[in-house]
Chain A
């Protein structure tokens, strides 16, 4: 991996600089003798994350440790640019997302009341000075952080589009159910490099199949308050 090479290159560069100029170089971590100016910005960013003891050594709720959490998968890497992806990147990201999506045999709508709670809940997966305990409380979907579903309930965010009357406008045909399931599972299939998280992808499953069915009911069930505004 290029990270290892970068560190090795840095070490080599340091050795020569130290010999010739006797110049002190350091990256801020104790006892480290790495010439940070010999790395590209990308290499240095990876170096800072993985080699400078900047993160707490904790178990992640999804399994694995902090390194696993901070290691990028291909989609995250592809979407780490400033601004929107160019056409080629967008195409690759859509292809990646589609290739990893597994459609369920059938999709049923669950209980919209449970879906409303899950859409509201921002609990889960937080790490650090306070770590979310999934044994105490199930993780939610954070959907209200970014979307207005029902402005009568509570403050809702605007990073994503309003989903008011989402089901009322679209109905509950098989095609609609499939589309919404695809978007919640891995929205990059339609919106490459979107801000919306992947809730059920090859990286990990943040919401269970059952939880997704409840949230889908909240969005699509004709009885749901989302569709009665």
Chain B
């Protein structure tokens, strides 16, 4: 299957070869390149143990399971997800993940990855929110995280490139920027309170800086095995965690505020290769 072909690619590639925007690269190769090119980034270099563990990233275990789920006929309608269009055409997964969120004609709105996946599982396969298949969003055991990891992996090493051609895409990205800098909640935080400077720490966590491309590319590279949680986590899970720490109100999954934030944060990593899946603290 094409996943196998992809895994064989990095062997053929000379290590250290300059990353081309459209080329698949092994997540560990992308990380190594970031580390070499940014020797002074405290964020990138913060955990020697995680760097060592990266070739055996436990998140990679979910890739095979996700692939099986993707091609299996499932749900009340008994169809696979091959009919799902993530923006590059039905079933076309190469590079799809790094070019989200995007505007979809069929729904008339901008959707982020998870929103789109859930949309397809409901519309094509016939699942409802009550089914664990879409209801359960978090953890290695969830279908959503397995599918997310498999699909995202098909874009590893490719440059973040969320489209901004449609006026709604630009509008959501710009609103996301406003949300990023909007002070609010019980403690007056915005996202930049903790991600607006280089090399700062919240307790033991070194914080990624939104204005430093390679740091931010790794920062938004979810799915990632989060060592502290011993589970693979998503972009949505990270947003939920940061919004919780910020003492804003509790954010819900599949909502436009999420999508706008992701539109902005993926845009801030534009041009940098994605590490998919990544491994984090």
Interface of A with B (CB < 8 Å)? 24-29, 36-37, 39, 41-42, 44-45, 48-49, 52-56, 58, 60-62, 66, 69-72, 75-77, 79-82, 125-131, 142, 144-146, 154-159, 195, 197-198, 204, 206
A70-B248 contact, Cβ under 8 Å, with A60-B186, A157-B200? yes
- A14 and B222 CA atoms in complex are apart in Å by 35
Query: CA–CA, A24 to B104, complex, Å?
Result: 11
Report how far A10 CA is from B184 CA in the complex, Å: 25
B177, B178, B200, B249 pick with most chain A CB within 10 angstroms: B249
Measured between beta carbons, the chain B residues less than 8 angstroms from A156 are: 203
Give the 3 A-B CB pairs with smallest separation, nearest first: A128-B250, A66-B249, A54-B255
Do A55 and B181 have beta carbons less than 8 Å apart? Answer: no
The answer to whether A128 and B187 have CB atoms under 8 Å apart is no
Q: How many residues of chain B are within 8 Å of chain A by beta carbon?
A: 52
Q: Mark B160-194, 1 if CB is under 8 A from A, else 0.
A: 00000001101110110111011111111110111
Q: What's the least CB distance linking A66 to chain B, in Å?
A: 4
Overall SS of chain B's interface:
mixed
Given contacts A48-B256, A54-B256, A158-B201, contact A126 B249 (CB under 8 A): no
- Assess the B249–A48 pair: CB atoms within 8 A: no
Check B256 against A126 for contact (C-beta < 8 Å): no
Residues of A within 8 A of B247 (CB): 69, 125-127
Q: Given A127-B244, A144-B203, A54 and B188 touching (CB < 8 A)?
A: no
> Do residues B194 and A56 form an inter-chain contact, with CB atoms below 8 A?
no
Question: A52-B255, A53-B255 known; A146 and B202 CB under 8 Å?
Answer: yes
Q: Are A155 and B109 in contact (CB under 8 A)?
A: no
Would A76 and B244 count as touching, CB distance under 8 A? no
Residues B6-29 near A (CB distance < 8 A): none
Identify the closest chain A residue to B138 (Cβ): A129
Contact yes or no, A27 B256, CB < 8 A: yes
Separation of A159 and B244 alpha carbons in the complex (Å):
19
Name the A residues within 8 Å of B256 (CB-CB): 27-29, 48, 52, 54
In chain B, positions 114-166 with a C-beta closer than 8 Å to chain A are none
18 contacts between A and B (CB under 8 A): A28-B259, A29-B255, A41-B171, A44-B172, A48-B260, A52-B257, A55-B249, A56-B249, A69-B186, A72-B183, A80-B178, A128-B244, A128-B250, A145-B203, A154-B203, A157-B202, A198-B188, A206-B186
Extra inter-chain contacts (16) besides given A54-B257, A69-B185, CB under 8 Å? A25-B108, A26-B107, A27-B256, A29-B255, A41-B174, A42-B178, A44-B171, A56-B250, A66-B250, A69-B184, A129-B250, A130-B244, A155-B201, A155-B203, A158-B199, A159-B200
Cα A157 to Cα B257 with chains together (Å): 28
CB distance from A211 to the nearest CB of B (A): 15
Give the contacting residue for B184; candidates A56, A72, A129, A142; CB below 8 A.
Answer: A72
Residue B251, interface by CB 8 Å = yes
Q: Any chain A CB within 8 A of the CB of B243? A: yes
C-alpha gap A145/B184 in the complex (Å): 18
Shortest CB distance B236–A (Å):
11
A45 close to B204 (CB less than 8 A) = no
The DSSP consensus for interface residues of chain A is loop
Q: Contacts A44-B178, A48-B179, A159-B201 known; A55 to B250 CB distance under 8 Å?
A: yes
B276 within 8 A of A: no
B36 within 8 A of A: no
CB of B258 closer than 8 Å to a CB of A:
yes
When chains A and B are docked, how far (Å) is the Cα of A145 from the Cα of B202?
A: 5
In the complex, whether B240 has a CB less than 8 A from a CB of chain A is: yes
With A41-B175, A80-B190 as known contacts, state yes or no: A128 contacts B251, CB within 8 Å: yes
B185–A70 contact, CB under 8 A? Answer: yes
> Quick check: A82 and B174 within 8 Å, CB to CB?
no
> Bound state CA distance, A100 and B204, in angstroms?
35
